[in-house]
């Protein structure tokens, strides 16, 4: 059941329910939120986004790819053979309803959590202690992210969240929602530019337009100047970089199945090397969604308090923007055999426009379902996942790594594109069932308990003392 109090009431003496990002407790001394003080709409939405993230992450857990979330350069040719149509349809569905959107929603909720956490503590008189607690909370999250990255999986996002929380979010807690929404939206071009700069897409696209006239002169046996020769050489380097063959794929699979400590050593080298700079380039990716989430929470969008028409029109407009752009870009890329320049121009180029509009559309649909109390049993299961989001995130990485790399099956590189969804369904079942059973006996997920105890520097009660 959703909360009836508005986020605006945080400015008065009455207290609105909150989520696990909040502080709750007696005056002056901040403490974690109690179970009866949660906002179920946020728990459900967090559960949806956490499960949805795996739909894309499984591509990295289970196989090698030469492109981001497009099954090219994999162990099996995804677009030929008897399963080509299934794989193509699955790729379209992933991009239309999951790609970027789930991670964007997760980031929005992290931003909303800053408002929930700090305002409750401040109105209870915690004063400067709020900043201390907030600082410790995000410092521990950064450490968790580093440990997750090095010892479990290289696709960690906790480090980025903790770093964004430490460097940027705290001063924005008092900014009005309109400004937050505007700032988050204006960061979209910055996010696109950062990713394009990191992957070299600007140079790829520029070279792709410079090379054809030079090649025409070569065919006409006309002399080339040094600049033309340098352009051709650079273009060939880029083409070779993106080219995949059987030998390269098999080499990548062998590297993915390397011994555990060898992989730990390699990820530690990445952590301390220049490639870790990607976390600087994607900072605007997470930060834009976090600021939007902070603004949406303040106006009641994330607590299912707005009118039905607001959510309906948000869903219609959001999907009307994101789905056609994705479909056209993916189909255009498919027709051109997923040329790396075509993908960069038509799929990655409009990525953040489609992500932001799509994540708002998905959020609006979830809010309508929660508001009208539809599918109550699935909502309870999803809310349980949302309440134990950190534990489920880390345990999902452990489960997938065990199934694909560490365990006896070593499925990495052995599954077709569509077959990886079997792992997703199995892990989803574990998330939903285990979370519900766990919360019957314990107040928090195991990693939530550790995070809270370290944040407040006091061991938190774990067992449920009374039924709610």
Per residue in 207-243, pLDDT tens?
999 999 999 999 999 999 999 999 999 999 999 999 9
What tens digit of pLDDT does each residue of 52-76 get?
Answer: 999 999 999 999 999 999 999 999 9
Other beta carbons within 10 Å of 31: 18
- Count of alpha carbons within 13 angstroms of residue 416, beta-carbon side: 15
* pLDDT beyond 50 at 16: no
2: closest CA among 388, 306, 296? Answer: 306
What share of the chain in percent tops pLDDT 70?
90
Q: What is the mean pLDDT of the chain?
A: 90
What tens digit of pLDDT does each residue of 296-312 get?
Answer: 999 999 999 999 999 99
- Burial label for 278, CB within 10 Å (0-12, 13-18, 19+), is middle
5: closest CA among 169, 120, 124? Answer: 120
* pLDDT beyond 90 at 114: yes
Whole-structure pTM value? 0.90
Asked if residue 217 lies in contact with residue 224, where contact means CB atoms within 8 angstroms, the answer is: yes
Q: What are the sequence ranges of the domains in the chain?
A: 7-455
Other beta carbons within 10 Å of 10: 20
* Dist. CA 126–CA 343, nearest whole Å: 51
Residue 149's H or E segment, with its range, is helix 129-151
pLDDT at 32: 60
């Amino acid at each position: 059941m959703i909360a009836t109090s508005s986020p605006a009431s945080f400015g008065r003496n009455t207290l609105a329910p909150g989520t696990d990002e909040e502080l709750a407790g007696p005056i002056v001394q901040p403490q974690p939120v109690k179970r009866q003080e949660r906002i179920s709409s946020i728990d459900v939405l967090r559960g949806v986004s956490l499960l949805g993230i795996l739909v894309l992450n499984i591509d990295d857990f289970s196989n090698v790819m030469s492109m981001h979330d497009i099954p090219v350069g994999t162990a099996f040719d995804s677009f030929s053979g008897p399963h080509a149509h299934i794989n193509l349809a699955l790729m379209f569905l992933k991009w239309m309803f999951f790609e970027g959107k789930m991670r964007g929603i997760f980031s929005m909720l992290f931003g909303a959590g800053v408002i929930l956490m700090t305002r409750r503590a401040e109105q209870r008189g915690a004063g400067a202690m709020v900043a201390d607690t907030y600082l410790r909370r995000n410092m521990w999250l950064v450490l968790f992210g580093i440990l997750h990255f090095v010892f479990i999986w290289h696709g960690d996002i906790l480090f980025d969240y903790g770093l964004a929380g430490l460097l940027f979010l705290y001063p924005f807690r008092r900014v009005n929602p309109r400004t937050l929404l505007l700032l988050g939206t204006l960061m979209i071009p910055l996010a696109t530019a950062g990713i394009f700069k990191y992957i070299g897409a600007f140079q790829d696209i520029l070279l792709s337009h410079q090379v054809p006239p030079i090649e025409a002169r070569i065919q006409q046996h006309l002399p080339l100047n040094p600049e033309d020769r340098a352009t051709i050489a650079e273009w060939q380097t880029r083409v070779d970089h993106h080219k995949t063959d059987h030998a390269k794929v098999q080499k990548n699979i062998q590297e993915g199945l390397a011994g555990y400590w060898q992989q730990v050593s390699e990820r530690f080298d990445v952590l301390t090397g220049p490639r870790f700079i990607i976390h600087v380039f994607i900072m605007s990716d997470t930060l834009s969604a976090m600021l939007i989430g902070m603004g949406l929470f303040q106006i009641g969008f994330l607590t299912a308090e707005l009118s039905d028409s607001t959510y309906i029109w948000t869903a219609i407009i959001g999907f009307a923007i994101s789905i056609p752009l994705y479909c056209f870009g993916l189909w255009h890329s498919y027709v051109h055999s997923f040329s790396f320049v075509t993908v960069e121009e038509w799929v990655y180029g409009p990525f953040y426009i489609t992500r932001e509009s799509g994540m708002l559309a998905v959020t609006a649909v979830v809010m309508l379902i929660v508001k009208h109390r539809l599918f109550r049993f699935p909502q309870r299961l999803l809310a349980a996942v949302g309440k134990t989001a950190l534990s489920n995130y880390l345990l999902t990485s452990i489960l997938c790594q065990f199934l694909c790399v560490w365990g006896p099956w070593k499925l990495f590189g052995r599954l077709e594109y569509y077959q990886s969804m079997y792992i997703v369904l199995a892990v989803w079942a574990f998330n939903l069932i285990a979370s519900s059973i766990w919360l019957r006996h314990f107040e928090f997920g195991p990693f939530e308990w550790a995070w809270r105890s370290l944040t407040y520097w006091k061991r938190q009660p774990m067992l449920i003392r009374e039924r709610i």
